[in-house]
Structure 1
Amino acid sequence: MTDNSRASGRGAGGARTLPLLSGTRKGLALLRTSDTGLLLLALIIGAGAGLGAIAFRWLIQTFTLILSGHDDYSGLGNVANPHVPWLGKWFVLLAPVVAGLLYGPLVYFFAREARGHGVPEVMYAVARKGGRIAPQVAAVKALASALCIGGGGSVGREGPIVQIGSALGSTLGRVVKVTEPRMKVLVACGAAGGIAATFNAPLAGVFFAMELILANFAAQSFGMVVLSSVTASVIGRAALGNEPFLILPEFTVDHLSQYLFFALLGVLAGGVGVVFTKVLYWIEDACDWAWRGPEWLRPAVGGLLLGVVLLLLPQMYGVGYPVLGNGIAGNYATGFLIVLLIGKVVATSLTIGIGGSGGVFAPSLFIGAVLGAAYGQGLNDVVPGLAGSVGAYGLIGMGAVFAGASRAPITAVVIMFELTGEYSIILPLMVAIVLATGVSHIMSGDTIYTLKLRRRGVDLSAPPHAEAMMGAPVSQIMEPTDATIGEHETLASAVAALSVSRHGQLPVLNDDGFYLGVITTRTVTEALASGDRDDDRVENWIDNTASVNADETIESVLVRLEDAQGPLPVMDPGLGVVVGWLSHQQLLTSVYLPRGSNPPGE
């Protein structure tokens, strides 16, 4: 072949390649920008989340079987692990240690976002990072959470599957290079698909993603999330069956008076949900304070303490659905139900505190179930003819405690309806959940998810720009002083100066130029109206207004500004002189409006 013919061949090959590349680019552009493309991405993510949920559940079962010797150890009592029968019941001291030795380094070296219960990290990624989640999070979270739960960690699987599905959605969005709003929708699609496939609850997956992850119910987002949830649920049912993850008793309301009992349970459950949240982070703080070694070793060393809890109360091993079911069925005495409640709060908090990986959704259901069952059994002892079945109170307690902890009432109602399939549950459930949510609002400004972020200085309720500005110095947003006045000048001079002042007040300086206070238009008006000419000097009418330093952070001066009637003078901390004003209007304009935007109405 001649050089010309080879060149011609390359040209022909290039000509064939160009349409292929052009078609690929057009296809990616269609996925990025069109509604059809978004629909297709939602389907793909739903399928991926469904398959991920199947793999995750298999990992949990496998590691539980390896580390405990049983499919689910929680309902068996202090039995031995058949793999190491010579250890007897004492193997539970070592199971969390072995699991921690495996997942501790995995999380620390490859994806530190995988530590903890997962949902706050997804909420933060959507609210502050445009939905971007590192692609390795899915694999690391699946392995770490499965090892943690299989080794006795008293946590749930919903947090991990939300993070796994969300990471899949984010990764696909980054590959296709979608815009930020679409990326957030894809992350929510992954979260919904994970919940739907794991719990066989497609509606709960949708509302969990919309209420907690996206925090809005936009029509297009809702449609895509529903599509992803349905796809994942179909795949999950094909592989795992169509049975609910919990077999619950039938629900009945025998007397109208029981609505009062359910309402009181809702109030109690709301308080328990808040207490669970507080204890969770209190124990995490205690673990942070006590641990001085390398972080990757913390789960293994802390696992020994968790093992002691499991030795005393083996019902806390893993998620504990069999124990939850027995509690609702009335198989435990009231006193033991209270022990299980306290044990679950402590075991879950300790699992998270030592660096474990797992969710808090299932533990909140567990706590609610045993609380409701204990409450129902107590009522049956007091008013046996009116109380009704213990199982009814257990079911209501499940939804109410979750609502009190997460403040997601819609999700709580929907998931309990899906678990039972009973329409009769709706009215009493709504009563209890609304009251639990209200009690939670009164007792705490944060939920079990948002408190983790607030402790890091992240307030999801504030605009991102405002959050970033809170740590900025006052000097960054202060207004310069327009004029000052000396303490020995007359009120007539003050009137002339105040007439051109922007804020109706002026800083008063002594003969050396140091700040003494302010004089206001109102004060001068009152002085002149009194007709007293013996004290017509400014020094006699100074208001001792609080001041702020230019190097203080905006967040640290908010209380003083809130209490002030007008703007606060800003001082140079080194020179002791006034250098500016900090006003309410300037704060709102600078902090809550991003740079380059106009205030409302302009």
Structure 2
Amino acid sequence: MSPILAERNAVGFWLAVLLTGVGTGLGAAALTELLQLVQHAAWSGNGTDLLDAAATTAPWRHVVILVGAGLLTGAGQLLLGRLSAANSIDITAAIWFHAGRLPALRTLGSAVLSILVVGMGASLGREGAPKQTGAVIANELSETMQLADDQRRLLVACCAGAGMAAAYGVPLGGALFALEVLRGELALRFVLPALLTSLVATGVSWGFLPDATTYQIPSYAGTLSVTAWAVLAGPIIGVFSVGYVRAVAWADHHRPKGPWRLAAPGLALGAVGAASIPFPQLLGNGRDIAQLAFTGQVAPLLLVSLLVLRPIATLICLGSGTPGGLFTPTLAIGALLGGVLGVPLSYVGPSGSSGLFAVLGAAALLAATTQGPLSAIVLMMELTGHARAFIVPLLLIVSIATLVARTIEPRSIYDARLTDAEVFKRQRNRDPQSGTQADPT
């Protein structure tokens, strides 16, 4: 493919980049405001700190609110199925196999539904909604501008990444995520569109959302002992990520069908609500518990308990058909895993170093499960506003964990809805030498 500026209809493409960036930023801001409104209505509090609000809420309300979220999910899925004849298409599948084409109404409806149920406490992420919104805007504008399929595919990936960038205030990380994870190619001709889309979307969202880091952490130092720990923990996190990715794929492929689509979400989310009575940390996308882990404020026994329960809660929600993202839940699970693995060293290491193990674990699991090491590193830098002081152990643990994971399992959490044949085709397109492997079909 020739460089973007030399392509036919280059003016239309760059105009689409600017317009979709603006639309994605506005969409991310609106969805964030909706999330906070729903969270405040369901749990009271300030609408942003779910953990504190849930901890002071009557136990029976945990179950009632989550069952309500499940019933809303079942009714919403049924309504979307009747409003739109088109089947839902995952963003990854749309980019790789449908030139970025998505059913607009069904995708936007799913985005809004996911925000509503995550605000009510479902153990899934909120980034899925702005990603879907950005992808739909890009697809519709590509149709209007009559862009070529390659341009549409790139624009949809860029805007999906820009949705994440705008929601979390991470323009560089969002651009890298769009190319490395969604588009699957860090080519120079793709970089400028991705950067510009994320920059515009983030800039627009800052007009409505606070310009602040998502996680506030101390200035940790990357000591020799922490670096040695990273080398030992990297393979463990890599193997853990393989199990997690396969569990996500299994849960997604076993979503309920037929009449069970109405009942299953209520039962599943009701179970999560009951479990959240003693463990309110299971609610929502996991940002609150990750923040506590990053600052070393979670007791070792609670770290171990949540490391078991938090993935189960996320998988139960996903397997019941509840829509939502996996980015923040995975980051939270990585923080718990890093905290658990760092418990022995935290007793002999520098004071307060337990939080650093959580930060490194979160970055490593995020990189290994998305198979996007560069985007994971940059995202952690932007999300925390730190990393320079511990860049060596960060690079080591991310590299090792990703290498181990990719050696064992080619699928990422964003490939979960793809068939084995589609995974093989995507892998062959990304890595031509892998085409020598046996085709699963």
Contact 1:74/1:320, CA 8 A, preserved across alignment: no
3-state SS in 2 of match to 1:238: coil
Residue 40 (structure 2) aligns with: 65
1:54 is displaced (CA, Å) by 0.5
Which consecutive residues of structure 1, in runs of 5 or more, have no partner in the other structure? 1-29, 81-87, 465-553, 559-602
Residue 383 (structure 2) aligns with: 419
1:112-261 → structure 2 map (5 Å cutoff): 121-253=90-222, 255-261=223-229
Match among 71, 74, 84 for residue 101 of structure 1: 71
3-state SS in 1 of match to 2:324: coil
Letter of the aligned partner of 2:403 in structure 1? G
1:458 is displaced (CA, Å) by 5.2
1:163-562 → structure 2 map (5 Å cutoff): 163-253=132-222, 255-284=223-252, 288=256, 293-381=259-347, 384-385=348-349, 389-422=353-386, 423-454=388-419, 459=424, 460-462=426-428
> RMSD of the TM alignment (CA)?
2.7
1:417 is displaced (CA, Å) by 1.6
TM-score (norm 1): 0.65
1:283 is displaced (CA, Å) by 4.5
Q: Does 1:79 align with 2:56?
A: yes
1:156 is displaced (CA, Å) by 0.9
Q: Distance in 2 between matches of 1:305 and 1:231?
A: 41
Letter of the aligned partner of 2:342 in structure 1? G
3-state SS in 1 of match to 2:104: coil
Aligned pairs, number: 422
Distance 1:91 1:443, change over 3 A: same
Contact 1:273/1:364, CA 8 A, preserved across alignment: no
Distance 1:457 1:180, change over 3 A: closer
Distance 1:281 1:94, change over 3 A: farther
Letter of the aligned partner of 2:247 in structure 1? V
Q: Which moved more, 1:396-405 or 1:442-451?
A: 442-451
Contact 1:258/1:386, CA 8 A, preserved across alignment: no
Q: Distance in 1 between matches of 2:253 and 2:418?
A: 14
1:444 is displaced (CA, Å) by 2.1
3-state SS in 2 of match to 1:136: helix
Q: Which moved more, 1:71-80 or 1:240-249?
A: 71-80
1:135 is displaced (CA, Å) by 1.5
Q: Distance in 1 between matches of 2:52 and 2:220?
A: 24
Q: Distance in 2 between matches of 1:183 and 1:453?
A: 21
Q: Which moved more, 1:345-354 or 1:68-77?
A: 68-77
Q: Distance in 2 between matches of 1:111 and 1:379?
A: 52
Letter of the aligned partner of 2:189 in structure 1? Q
Contact 1:328/1:370, CA 8 A, preserved across alignment: no
Contact 1:50/1:194, CA 8 A, preserved across alignment: yes
Q: Which moved more, 1:205-214 or 1:170-179?
A: 170-179
The structure number with the bigger radius of gyration is: 1
Contact 1:258/1:387, CA 8 A, preserved across alignment: no
Letter of the aligned partner of 2:288 in structure 1? P
TM-score (norm 2): 0.88
Contact 1:99/1:151, CA 8 A, preserved across alignment: yes
Q: Distance in 2 between matches of 1:226 and 1:137?
A: 28
3-state SS in 2 of match to 1:410: helix
Q: Distance in 1 between matches of 2:250 and 2:14?
A: 43
1:441 is displaced (CA, Å) by 2.1
Q: Distance in 2 between matches of 1:58 and 1:331?
A: 28
1:555 is displaced (CA, Å) by 6.5
Residue 91 (structure 1) aligns with: 61
Write 1 or 2 for the structure with the bigger share of helix: 2
User: How many percent identity over aligned positions?
Assistant: 28
Structure with the bigger RCO (C-alpha within 8 Å, sep 6+) is 2
Distance 1:333 1:229, change over 3 A: same
- CA offsets per residue over residues 338-386 of structure 1, 9 Å max, x none? 11111110111011011111111101110111222233332122xx146
